[in-house]
DNA sequence: GTGCAGAAATTGGTTGGACCATTGAACCAC
DNA sequence: GTGGTTCAATGGTCCAACCAATTTCTGCAC
């Protein structure tokens, strides 16, 4: 009977500050890298204490929307808009082998779906862009005789973008960043990712042919090679432990 | 040559506070719902200003780890551990129909994978738990003659848990929460989700039979019905706009 | 004019103290 | 019990100052 009686909103200074700031960013058409007003100016203009401004900015900083540089200023790190929604995820204990495999299971599901959607929706321009990234990656592979994680990542990103759903890039990018922050040289496996090389071309072929199920299948094969590399690395690690 | 020389950490008071607090939580074995020390006590014990404590807690609050109630105290909202990783996602413009469809594309990929993994990994106890939730849901469906989002959600969660990968539940739960915060009564469609009812049983049957591909297929069918409902709702909305 | 070192201004980070608003418990009258 | 009242505890906000890193300006040497 007393449903639909949510608690009323009594005070929300920080939220109000962020709302005003988001409006300001849109009005001034500020983009990533540009500088925000200083905390003191914001406090004065918004008629709130500098502490309140700082709490609000701390929120945005925690969400990765903004970067503060002491002595310099506060800078936008991503596009912000007044109507954005936040979805913070915390991964408990993600920095071990099991955690890595768990993120890979998520990536397998998303990677396959993104490739399939891309095969359906990519237009001529998107396909040309993906092929361009693929050429760069293959060139780097042959000259340096090995996978280059930088060019490899660029290729995958272009696929996510062409999927028509920016969430794929956002979620996988966030996991990719975590992945590399803790596993820069994964488990000491040389030629890590080497086996995944040929599937980049086959994925592209399926996308260019607008064959979603084919693209999904090739993407799954690619992820499978990464999983194998990871397991090999884990075996190496156990070997080292015994020594 | 000068790689792997990250800038030294000159100041990081808030991070240090959070680290200490995470250690405290683990030592005291505090769980969700339990109360943290007051800001004043933390400031005194950690030998930092109360403002610094507040900035640190603001971070955790933004990540949804903690809830602050004025006049009462600060309470844990989720399990925290010293080794957790954060992955904040922001969805630009997620509160319209297109945004809803985008989240559903992500959910389709994850739901299918979770169902398949569940069919592989679920043991007898997990299968019994899922069947229990399914019985409750079907009971509610028949007595109230309609889908109950509460019991429906419980069923799906039990599947995610049995997948053996907590990330599925975390990510889908976060999207589910956003979904419901802005679409409590989605688009005025009566009997929303009605068509999805039979697939809950078929998904369970495949899981119980340890048939991953079957479970994946049934999960995809279920999501397809939700997409149809959503499109019907969008059509209704356009009709209303014309009036 | 150019280049560079040091001074000065700017900006985020931190501190301490004060007061306000809300909460919850204890207490009291009915 | 039910409904007020009081009061201490707690988070929310504010202010004023100072610290630390960065940027900008200034003036001198050449």
CA A48 – CA A55 distance, rounded (Å): 11
Q: Which of B 6-25 have CB under 7 A of nucleic chain D?
A: 10-11
- The topology under which CATH files domain A13-76 is Arc Repressor Mutant, subunit A (1.10.10)
CB of B70 lies under 7 Å from some atom of strand C: yes
Does the pLDDT at position A209 exceed 90? yes
What pLDDT, on the 0 to 100 scale, is given for residue A221? 94
Distance from CA(A13) to C1'(D14), angstroms, rounded: 13
Does the pLDDT at position B219 exceed 90? yes
Q: Where are the domains of chain B?
A: 13-76, 97-242
CB < 8 Å to B79, chain A: 92
Which residue of chain A has the CA closest to B80? A92
Distance from CA of B85 to the nearest CA of A (A): 5
For helices B212-242 and B197-208, give the axis angle rounded to 10 degrees: 170
- At B141-153, the pLDDT tens digits run 888 766 767 888 8
Mean pLDDT of chain A: 85
Which residue of chain B has the CA closest to A164? B102
Give percent of chain A with pLDDT exceeding 70.
85
Q: Which of B62, B85, B178 sits opposite A59 (nearest CB)?
A: B62
Model confidence band, residue B4 (pLDDT cutoffs 50, 70, 90): very low
- At B29-67, the pLDDT tens digits run 898 999 999 999 999 999 999 999 999 999 999 999 999
More confident residue, A143 or A20: A20
Q: With residue B201 as reference, give the H or E element that holds it.
A: helix B197-208
- Cβ atoms of A45 and B55 within 8 Å: the answer is no
Which residue of chain A has the CA closest to B170? A89
- At A65-107, the pLDDT tens digits run 999 999 999 999 988 888 888 888 888 765 677 778 888 899 9
The CATH number for A97-242, chosen from 1.20.120.530, 3.30.1360.120, 3.60.70.12, 3.40.30.10, is 1.20.120.530
Tell me which of B14, B32, B58, B108 to substitute to probe the interface with A (most A C-beta atoms closer than 10 Å).
B58
**DSSP secondary structure letters along chain A:** ---S-PPP----HHHHHHHHHHHHHHHHT--TTPBPPPHHHHHHHHTS-HHHHHHHHHHHHHTTSEEEETTTEEEE-S---TT-EEEEEEETT-SSHHHHHHHHHHHHHHHHHHHHHHHHH--HHHHHHHHHHHHHHHHHHHHHTS--HHHHHHHHHHHHHHTT-HHHHHHHHHHHHHHHHH-SSGGG-TTTTGGGHHHHHHHHHHHHTT-HHHHHHHHHHHHHHHHHHHHHHHHHHHHHHH-
A97-242 matches A13-76 in CATH topology = no
Q: What is the largest CA-CA distance in chain B?
A: 71
- Summarize the confidence of residues B202-209 as an average pLDDT: 93
**A vs B: CB pairs below 8 A:** 158
């Amino acid at each position: 009977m007393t449903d639909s009686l949510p608690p009323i909103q009594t005070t929300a200074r920080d939220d109000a500050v962020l709302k005003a700031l988001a409006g300001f960013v849109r009005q001034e058409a500020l983009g990533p890298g540009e500088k925000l007003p200083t905390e003191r100016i914001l406090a004065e203009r918004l008629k709130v204490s500098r502490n309140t401004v700082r709490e609000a900015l701390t929120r945005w900083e925690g969400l990765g929307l903004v970067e503060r540089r002491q002595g310099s200023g506060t800078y936008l790190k991503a596009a912000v808009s007044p109507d954005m929604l936040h979805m913070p995820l915390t991964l408990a204990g993600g920095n071990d082998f099991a955690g890595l495999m768990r993120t890979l299971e998520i990536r397998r599901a998303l990677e396959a779906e993104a490739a399939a959607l891309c095969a359906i929706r990519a237009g001529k321009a998107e396909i040309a862009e993906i092929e361009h990234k693929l050429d760069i990656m293959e060139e780097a592979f042959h000259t340096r005789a090995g996978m280059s994680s930088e060019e490899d990542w660029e290729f995958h990103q272009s696929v996510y973008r062409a999927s028509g759903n920016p969430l794929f890039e956002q979620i996988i990018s966030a996991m990719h960043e975590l992945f590399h922050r803790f596993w820069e040289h994964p488990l000491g496996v040389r030629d890590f990712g080497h086996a995944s090389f040929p599937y980049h071309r086959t994925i592209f072929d399926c996308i260019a042919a607008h064959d979603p199920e084919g693209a999904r299948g090739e993407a799954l094969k690619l992820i499978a090679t990464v999983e194998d590399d990871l397991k090999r690395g884990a075996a190496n690690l156990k070997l080292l432990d015994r020594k």
